[in-house]
Every structure is written in structure tokens, then in C-alpha cells.
Amino acid sequence: MNRREFSLAFLGGLGALTLRPLQDQPKLRVNGARIIQHLNALGEFGKNPQGGVSRVAYSEADRQGRAYIMGLMRAAKLNVSIDLAGNIIGRRSGSVPTLPPLLFGSHIDTVPEGGNYDGVVGSLGAIEVAQTLAEHNFTTRHPLELIIFQNEEGGLIGSRALDGELTDQELDLVSRSGKTIREGISFIGGDPTRLAEVKRKRGDIAAYLELHIEQGGTLDSEKVNIGIVEGIVGINWWDVTVEGFANHAGTTPMNQRQDALLAAAKFIEAVNRTVTSVAGRQVGTVGRIQALPGAPNVIPGKVVLSLELRDLDAAKIKMFYEKIHAEAQQIARASNTKFEFKEINVNVPAPTDSRIRKIIEDSANELGLTTRIMPSGAGHDAQDMALLGPVGMIFVPSVAGISHSPREFSHPADIANGANVLLHTLLKLDQLELK
């Protein structure tokens, strides 16, 4: 083989690298000011008096925010559609159409009284990456799919529809908007009767990348630019119902009560005690409680509360659940009440791909940014995408580690850094075919 033949064979082996020389890629940069302008504009949809955003999935604010986002995606020259599960997808052709698509994105729904950064930074960062590629006329080898998952905060609903984990019973659960998930999917343009058609299988995606705010304080306190996520915690939710007996609060002696709220209070303490009884990063929370009938002069006869457990190890979640369940039975016996647990949602823990972690690190270092490897205590759609292909997540600092709060904030420079790392990680991944 002469030298020319060798270099042609070499180029052929690398696919369509010839479209744009590799050495040009480090020069591509996102427009950080444009991300912030879009962030402020999106923050108007669902803006609340606390200074944050309440844009729960399937609300009118969610629908309006999604319309705004789709406009940005079209301006970034993406071919935009809503899939049957209600996820927004923006497609861009690649030069090797037989390759599976590279996916990247996040979510724009928020918790009630949330902030304007969780999900939004990753969504707008992804759109800015697409816009930058369009402005530079840059064609990747893989087709690209920018995806804005629907109802991330209500249990990763859009991503779990994609990997087939969303169950039919869950569709009847009432979401924070007041609509059932089934109604919500129709409301945002999906079709809950055809969810089987959105299901993808392992290998259907080349990889999934997500940029997100850290939502904890490690990067901020250690002054590190970029977090490289090693794994995402599993999150399990239960509804717990405590049955007592509603009776007159003035005439029922203290030793004859079946007070469901008192039993629930002991249960909340038991959750905290059990989860903190051994060292580790596991967390357990009772975040919602309702006492019925709910009057000062009636002993509560029924309480419904939520239980959430998180850890990187599903076996540890199961072990803590079993301990908590046993504690609940003891409380029930002592207080003459009854506890019932109903599993609501299971998000499996997921490690990220070690090869993608290395590419994120290289991309950040080439941009002059410092990095740190870290777990994610928050859930993300990436954990469900991990069932379909290799995933990577890039974190940027959250000031004071505050999230799910109107006081959530990340500095514009950090957001621009994260979007640049996303861009260069995507371009490097595009050169590979990970299995």
C-alpha cells in the first residue's frame, strides 16, 4: 500500500471525518449570553411570586413553555416533533444515516415552587449546541436527536415511556397538575393509547448526554468547574396510608385513641432514624402528608403520606425499605392503627459509561476547566436512557447547593462552560461507535 492508499484507507476507517478536520473542533464555542437570554425568557412561563418557577408538567405554563422551547429548536434548524409520549424531539441529519442517533437533552418541567435552572440549563444548553452546529454548518456523522423529556419531576415519565418502563397503572395516577398522567400526555400532544410505539430497545441510540446543574454544593464549595457524574441514584416512591379511627377530640380519653397522625409522626421519625443508622449516602424523606378529616376538634382517622428512598445501590434501597416496613408494623401494633404501603414509582440506579466519563474529562481539560467525578443524588432521565445505551452526565455548580427552590442559581459563566463541554463531548463521541 502506498502512502496515499494508506491515508485513504485510514480516513475510510474513521468514517466521514473528512467533513470537518478534527483540529477545527476545539474552536467551536457556544454563545453563553444567548443561553441566559433564553433562560430568562423561559422563566416567564410559570413565574411565581416567590421569585422562582412553578411549571409542573401538564399545566398551562408547561404547555406554553414547551411551545417557546419548540420555537427555539426550530430556530436552531432542528426538525421538531412531539412523540407519542409527549416528549419534544428535534432531529438533525448526520452524514452516516445508518448510524443510530446520538441523543442529548434534559427537561423543562419543574417541581411546585421550584427554580429556573433544574432541567432548564441542560435543555437550553442542548439547544445552544444545536444552534452552534447550525451556525457553523457542521454536520456530524451520527444523526442527532435533541430531546426534551416530559414530566421528569413526576417520576421520569417521558424517559420511562421510551424504554418501556412506564406501566399502564401509572397512567391513572394524578400528577401535580391535577390531571392524570394519561390526561396529561394527551394535553401536551402525545397519545397515551399508543405508548408501545415510542418504546426503543438497547442499541437504538448511540449514546445519551445530559448537562445539568449539580443541585448539591460540592462543585461550588470546592471551586471546581465541571462535575463528571459516575452514577445516578435509584429513587423509589411509596404512598403510605395509616388507618386509625376518627373520633371526638374532646371526649375521647388519651388512652383510647387510634390517632393516625400520631402514628404517622412516629413513622416519620422512624424513617429518619433507620436511614441514618448506618454510614453511607442513602437518603430517605417523607415529603408530603395529608391528615383526614383535617379539623382541630377531630382525632385524625386517616393519614396519607409519601415515602421516598434513594441510593446508588438498589439492594440497599430494598434493605432500608424492609426495615422501615417492620418499624411501621411495630408502630401500628402500639397505636392500634394499620399501615399500608403502595409502590408508586421505581427509578433504577444507573452507572454512567466510563468511556464517556473520560471524553467529558478530556473535553473539559481542553477547554481549560477543572473536573471532579461525583455521584448524582438527584434523579435524571439519563438513568432510563442507560437502559438503551451508554450515557454521560455533565454537572455545573449550583450556588450554595440550593435546588428545588426559587433560590436555585448557577452563574452564567458556569452555564456557558457546561454547554461548551457538552458540545465538545458530543463532537468527540460522534467520532466513535461505542458498543
Residues 76-135 that bind ligand HGY (CB under 6 A): 118
Report yes or no: 177 and 184 within 8 Å, Cβ to Cβ: yes
Determine the size of the site formed for Mn ion (CB under 5 A): 2
Please, what is the minimum distance in Å from the beta carbon of residue 112 to Mn ion?
11
Residue 133 vs 421, nearer CB to Mn ion: 421
Binding pattern for the stretch 364-383 against ligand HGY, x by CB under 6 A and - elsewhere: --------------xx----
Our finding on whether 118 is near Mn ion (CB under 5 A) is yes
Instruction: Pick the binder of Mn ion from 15, 65, 94, 119 (CB under 5 A).
Output: 119
Q: 127 CB contacts (<8 Å, ≥6 apart)?
A: 38, 69, 72, 73, 76, 90, 146
Return the one option of Mn ion, ligand HGY, none that residue 379 interacts with (CB less than 5 to 8 A, by type).
ligand HGY
Burial readout 192-214 (b: 16 or more C-beta within 10 A, e: otherwise): beebeebbbeeeebbbbbbbbbb
Please, what is the minimum distance in Å from the beta carbon of residue 384 to ligand HGY?
12
Return the one option of Mn ion, ligand HGY, none that residue 390 interacts with (CB less than 5 to 8 A, by type).
none
Residues 137-166 that bind ligand HGY (CB under 6 A): 152-153
Report yes or no: 382 and 352 within 8 Å, Cβ to Cβ: yes
DSSP 231-293: EE-EEEEEEEEEE-B-EETTTS-GGG-B-HHHHHHHHHHHHHHHHTSSSSS-EEE---EEEES
Please, what is the minimum distance in Å from the beta carbon of residue 70 to Mn ion?
19
Looking at this protein, which amino acid is placed at residue 98?
T
Report yes or no: 394 and 425 within 8 Å, Cβ to Cβ: yes
Please, what is the minimum distance in Å from the beta carbon of residue 152 to ligand HGY?
5
Residue 152 vs 214, nearer CB to ligand HGY: 152
Determine the size of the site formed for ligand HGY (CB under 6 A): 5
Looking at this protein, which amino acid is placed at residue 236?
N
Please, what is the minimum distance in Å from the beta carbon of residue 301 to Mn ion?
34
Burial of 319 (0-12, 13-18, 19+ CB in 10 A): middle
Which span (78-86, 110-118, 133-141, 220-228) binds Mn ion, by CB under 5 A? 110-118
Residue with cell 374532646: 250
Residue 152 vs 327, nearer CB to ligand HGY: 152
CA-based nearest residue to 231, from 418, 392, 362: 392
According to DSSP, residue 138 is labeled: P
Distance of CA 12 to the CA centre of its chain: 38
Binding pattern for the stretch 216-255 against ligand HGY, x by CB under 6 A and - elsewhere: ----------------------------------------
Q: Interface residues with ligand HGY (CB under 6 A)?
A: 118, 152-153, 378-379
